[in-house]
């Protein structure tokens, strides 16, 4: 129920306006969002890259109201890709199709995606389409297929293990040779479309991960779930997969302890690094993922946050048995 309420709040413009004007909220947001400007994002990316971490950089924003806003968002990505190319950062970009105007003018959105993909290819990097809610799942998979048909083979997308349709999408995208980011899914979806119980979502994730480890060239596992991380490592080792042939992905600010441990153990790690001013829906989904975050959030609004409160209380080893 709490998760559902928070996910509804992610779409509330009044709450968004309040949150964006509050300096107290901003203090907590900094944990998840690397500043508002391109320079902030690039500075954070450069520091993380120096520590052996790859990135996928996201200019936060979604469901724009006009194609003018979509064009402005694409322009930020063009500049971002110039920075990535100039600095030879180990960073791709993550894009939400609705931020490029998918629900306003599909053809114009496709043109923006292909333009950004072409520039990303010139910089030698990937474009990952984030998977949004179920209203755009099929369209997003088709956008990847159309990009590949047009020669933009550096475009892939996320898939969400909570959706019942995902095993078929995973096969479809694997046959295409597209890069796939497997995640659990962050939206409130109805029971006829998505698993509702965490245990079912996790079971589905493991099933999809097993398929990808067997069939995909370079699968990307986006999770902070230590049991899943442990299971994927073991399964990959049993299949004789090289540690460099797949990667884990995590969110900026979430489980830095696990992030450090993976890199120290020689696993590939890519962080999803968001920056930009339209952080409210992204931030609210992060709160919804972990009820304890609300306590942390409330405390931060009433007291100056102390560094020792920022780390996750959970200490389970990422190698713990499944």
Angle in degrees, 0-180, between the axes of helices 38-50 and 67-87, rounded to the nearest 10: 40
β-strand partners of 318: none
Report which of 41, 53, 49, 50 is spatially closest to residue 261, judged by C-alpha positions. 53
Q: Which of 48, 136, 222, 232 binds ligand FAD (CB under 6 A)?
A: 222
Contact call for residue 105 and ligand FAD (CB under 6 A): no
For residues 258 and 319, give the distance between their C-alpha atoms in angstroms, rounded to a whole number.
10
Q: DSSP per residue over 171-188, as a string?
A: HHHHHHT--EEEE---S-
- Residues of this chain, 85-104, that bind ligand FAD according to CB under 6 A: none
Q: Is 286 in the site for ligand FAD (CB under 6 A)?
A: yes
Q: Stretches 67-75, 114-122, 137-145, 180-188: which one binds ligand FAD (CB under 6 A)?
A: 180-188
Q: Binder to ligand FAD among 105, 290, 299, 305 (CB under 6 A)?
A: 290
Our CB check for ligand FAD shows the closer of 98 and 249 to be 249
Non-local CB neighbours of 311 within 8 Å, separated by 6+ positions: 256, 257
- Give the one residue of 20, 187, 241, 305 binding ligand FAD; rule: CB under 6 A: 187
Angle at 115 between CA 97 and CA 100, to 5 degrees: 25
Give the shortest CB-236-to-ligand FAD separation in angstroms: 17
Looking at residues 4 to 23 of the shown chain, list those that interact with ligand FAD (rule: CB under 6 A): none
Using CB under 6 A as the binding rule, the residues of this chain from 27 to 46 that contact ligand FAD are none
Active site residue 86: no
**x-or-dash pattern for ligand FAD, window 136-175, by CB under 6 A?**
----------------------x-x---------------
Q: From the list 121, 245, 289, 299, which residue makes contact with ligand FAD (rule: CB under 6 A)?
A: 289
Q: Find where tokens 């030698």 sit.
A: 124
169 belongs to the catalytic site: no
Is the Cβ of residue 98 or residue 160 nearer to ligand FAD in the bound state?
Answer: 160
> What span, in angstroms and rounded, lies between the C-alpha atoms of 210 and 219?
10
Q: Which of 54, 58, 130, 208 is catalytic?
A: 130
Measured CA to CA in angstroms, residue 173 lies from 10, 50, 128, 153, 260 at distances of: 29, 32, 13, 12, 30
Going by C-alpha positions, the residue among 162, 168, 84, 92 that lies closest to residue 127 is 92
Span near ligand FAD by CB under 6 A; candidates 19-27, 110-118, 232-240, 284-292: 284-292
CA dist 31 and 283 (Å) reads 10
Residue 315 φ then ψ, to 5°: -120, 5
Residue 293 as a binder of ligand FAD (CB under 6 A): the answer is: yes
Q: Which is nearer to ligand FAD, 113 or 186 (CB)?
A: 186
Q: How far is CA 218 from the centre of its chain?
A: 17
Q: Catalytic residue among 119, 181, 255, 286, which?
A: 181
Q: Which CB, 1 or 14, lies closer to ligand FAD?
A: 1
Q: Strands of the chain (E only): list them.
A: 54-59, 91-95, 127-129, 155-160, 180-183, 220-222, 247-251, 269-275
| Number of residues this chain uses to bind ligand FAD (CB under 6 A) | 26
Catalytic positions, written as ranges: 130, 181
What residue ranges bind ligand FAD (CB under 6 A)?
130-131, 158, 160, 181, 183-187, 222-225, 249-251, 254-255, 272, 286, 289-290, 293, 312, 314
């Amino acid at each position: 129920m709490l998760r559902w309420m928070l996910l509804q709040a992610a779409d509330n413009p009044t709450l968004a306006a309040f949150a964006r004007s509050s300096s107290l909220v901003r203090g907590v947001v900094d944990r998840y969002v690397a500043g508002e400007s391109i320079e902030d994002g690039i500075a954070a990316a450069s520091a993380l890259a120096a520590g052996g971490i790859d990135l996928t950089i996201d200019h936060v924003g979604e469901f724009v109201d006009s194609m003018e806003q979509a064009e402005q968002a694409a322009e930020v990505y063009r500049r971002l890709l110039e920075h990535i190319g100039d600095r030879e950062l180990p960073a791709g970009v993550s894009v939400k199709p609705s931020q490029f105007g998918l629900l306003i003018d599909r053809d114009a959105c496709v043109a923006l995606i292909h333009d950004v993909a072409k520039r990303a290819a010139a910089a030698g990097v990937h474009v990952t389409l984030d998977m949004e809610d179920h209203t755009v799942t099929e369209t997003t998979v088709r956008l990847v297929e159309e990009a590949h048909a047009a020669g933009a083979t550096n475009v892939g997308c996320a898939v969400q293990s909570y959706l019942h349709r995902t095993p078929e999408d995973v096969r479809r995208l694997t046959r295409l040779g597209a890069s796939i980011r497997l995640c659990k899914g962050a939206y409130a979806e109805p029971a006829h479309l998505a698993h509702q119980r965490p245990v079912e979502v996790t079971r589905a994730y493991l099933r999809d991960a097993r398929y990808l480890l067997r069939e995909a060239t370079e699968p990307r596992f986006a999770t902070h779930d230590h049991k899943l991380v442990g299971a994927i490592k073991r399964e990959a080792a049993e299949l004789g997969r090289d540690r460099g042939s797949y990667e884990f992905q995590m969110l900026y600010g979430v489980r830095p302890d696990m992030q450090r441990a993976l890199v120290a153990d020689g696993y590939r790690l890519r962080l999803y690094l968001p920056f930009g001013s339209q952080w409210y829906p992204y931030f609210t989904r992060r709160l919804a993922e972990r009820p304890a975050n609300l306590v942390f959030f409330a405390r931060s609004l009433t007291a100056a946050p102390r560094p020792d409160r920022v780390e996750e209380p959970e200490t389970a080893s990422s190698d713990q048995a499944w």
